[in-house]
Structure 1
């Protein structure tokens, strides 16, 4: 189930595509809380330059204002401070996800327990329209996620597996709604945001390129539009049947390892990190595959998104990853990761003995089935 497996995600717009200096977009968020027993502390969070930027204000009379600039119209989150609990140690409740753009975005709340009303700009109005279309699917997904967490805590793997098909169905429904929204609204001011949601982290160029080309030129010329164009070209270069991009990076001993040196074997190019829970959960499946087929012409090359050499090596030893490993210890800025456009981990590519890509993102049974097909 991709939605749950792809939990370690990079949200940095500049990670794959070096942007030149862009003209910042000014925004204002003006809001009010009609009923509050005491002053409310609010937090406003937006993603800038690959990092979360958080502002805060206390509202003695219920009125609040946040203002600033962003590289382009984008989403932002509004939180309220509430008493902390074991499940919410920061003591923050998300009040709204907004879509910032030029002009004044308005937010009205009766109180922090109720759903707010937001509007004021064409960006927020378009975002409201999209949310109304996906609301039913999102509600079902939230309910299913709560059920899944209960099963996860109980370590009920059979129960979790039963929910996975439903998760995938809901995700497919959400994307279908978004694709129809773009077909009906190709000039939408939030078009690039919607397309990015449709494309996901494993971009299918054949599916999304026609949609991208149908969007307004202004949308395609935004920083995210230019980045998406870059991702499209990279996806074409990394499609099954294409040669993998060669690289050299150091192993834990500081010695360079090249991808080309593995020619003659099937190679699973595995992107992971010691801090990535889904990666560590998938490692036993990769270990089993490696041990079963290592004498038949199969190996693994791990590319770690770690920053700590010590933690990287500890994870290698603990998970018994007895295959070559490389990293430049730059975390999400790993040069091989950028070369391959990796935006979420775990991810992998299976290469044939000639260095061509056979398949992508094979996990669990899918990896075992593919290797059984190749070696039997």
Structure 2
């Protein structure tokens, strides 16, 4: 084995491979000799790891400390084509594998796409969830295609209509597939994964915390469990009726601006970025709401997750989209201090605050923002 490891964050649990439980992942590629390397990537809590192992004589083996069950991506790579897709030769193939301590085997027989996983009870549960999701995904695929087509054509109404249908079906799927699984299999090693899928990016703490508390004690105490509990605690602070957490960040002229300085007005705290397509497509709706209510005690506080060294792109997007309100950013991408403070893991995301700084709505999009403002501003 010739590992090549890239640690995105300090991985203390992996400091000594011989300590604690281990996972052994092995496979045979006798019928696909073109594969030269197998790459693995996974996360433990907030820590991410990438590793690789060379294929020798048609076989490969990966052994490492593993403190908890975790969903990994296994990627087979070759300098030549592994299979054809759409008339093109494909040189890599990835599949999800739910790892857990013990020995797991990946068997590749007729083709790399037919690789089968055995030896992991966690993966068996994961496959059951994936299979149950397939029927729902088949309903979502044409809607995603419709959304992409409308977005490419700058058809805001068409994109919004497709997005509403996607959100509706996705909510039904999460309730049926992941909610159903959690009711029956809270002790499963993949229950935390199911809970994350059920909760989505915007955690409803009142709904999710009781489900988290039903997970096994081992899962709750794991690094991933502890990290997710922290996300739930952040979500509690963002509940409707809570006063929004204050923060200060520099505006486009590098002057510090505090969120609390806007108290006395209705404020939409809008997390976005110039590189975020969905954010840019949502901006016309925010502009419409701003123009309709800016003289009625309403404003927007834009928080950008633009990348380091790309202030010019941030400013250009503000100008191009006609965003004539206060904007701040620390230009730290996903390490944006306010985004981390607010547990933002996907954008666009927003919170609507009343004049006292209390949260009265979250993640309003399309016409919903204008409707909410019409409801609260008399």
Q: What interval of TM-score do these two structures reach, taking the shorter chain for normalisation? A: 0.7 to 0.9
In the other structure, the counterpart of 1:374 is 376
Q: Distance in 1 between matches of 2:95 and 2:204?
A: 31
How far apart are residue 217 of structure 1 and its match? Answer: 0.6
- 1:107 to 1:213, Cα distance in 2 relative to 1, 3 A: same
Between stretches 317-326 and 264-273, larger displacement belongs to 317-326
* CA distance in 2: counterparts of 1:89 and 1:43, whole angstroms: 21
Query: In terms of mean alpha carbon deviation, does 145-154 or 186-195 score higher?
Result: 145-154
Per-residue CA distance 1:166-203 (angstroms, 9 max, x = gap): 53344234312211112111211111111111111111
Give the Cα–Cα distance (whole angstroms) in 2 for the partners of residues 124 and 214 of structure 1: 21
Preserved CA contact (<8 Å) 1:29 1:66: yes
Structure showing greater relative contact order (alpha-carbon pairs closer than 8 Å, 6 or more residues apart): 1
Counterparts of 1:186 and 1:330, CA distance in 2: 37
Q: Name the CA distance, whole Å, in 2 between partners of 1:213 and 1:366.
A: 33
**Which residue number in structure 2 is paired with residue 232 of structure 1?**
232
CA deviations 1:295-338 (Å, max 9, x no partner) are 11111111111222222222222222211111122211111111
Q: Aligned partners of 1:88, 1:316: CA distance in 2, in Å?
A: 41
Q: Cα gap change, 1:85/1:309 in structure 2, threshold over 3 Å: closer, same or farther?
A: farther
State which of 30, 35, 45 in structure 1 corresponds to 2:31. 35
Matched-pair contact (CA < 8 Å) for 1:39–1:60: no
* Residue in structure 2 matched with residue 361 of structure 1 by the alignment: 363
CA RMSD of aligned residues (A): 3.2
Closer, same or farther in 2 for the Cα pair 1:214/1:92, shift >3 Å?
farther
Gaps of 5+ in 1: 1-11
Name the structure 1 match of 2:223. 223
- Seen in structure 2, the aligned counterparts of structure 1 residues 166 and 305 have a Cα distance that, compared at 3 Å, is closer
Q: Secondary structure at the match of 1:233?
A: helix
Q: Residues 44 and 76 of structure 1 are in contact (CA less than 8 Å); yes or no, is this contact kept in structure 2?
A: no
Is this contact kept in 2: 1:201–1:344, CA < 8 A? yes
Quote the Cα distance in structure 2 between the aligned partners of 1:368 and 1:13: 41
Question: Shift of the alpha carbon at 1:72?
Answer: 3.6
- 1:229 CA drift (Å): 1.5
How far, CA to CA, are the matches of 1:371 and 1:153 in structure 2?
29
Cα distance in 2 between the residues matched to 1:107 and 1:20: 26
Q: Does 1:45 align with 2:44?
A: no
Q: How does 1:316-331 map to 2 (within 5 A)?
A: 316-331=318-333
Match of 2:282 in 1: 282
Partner of 2:61: 65
- Structure 2: give runs of 5+ residues left out of the alignment: 1-6, 15-19
- Aligned length, in residue pairs: 359
Summarize the Cα distance change of 1:70–1:96 in structure 2 as closer, same or farther, 3 Å threshold.
same
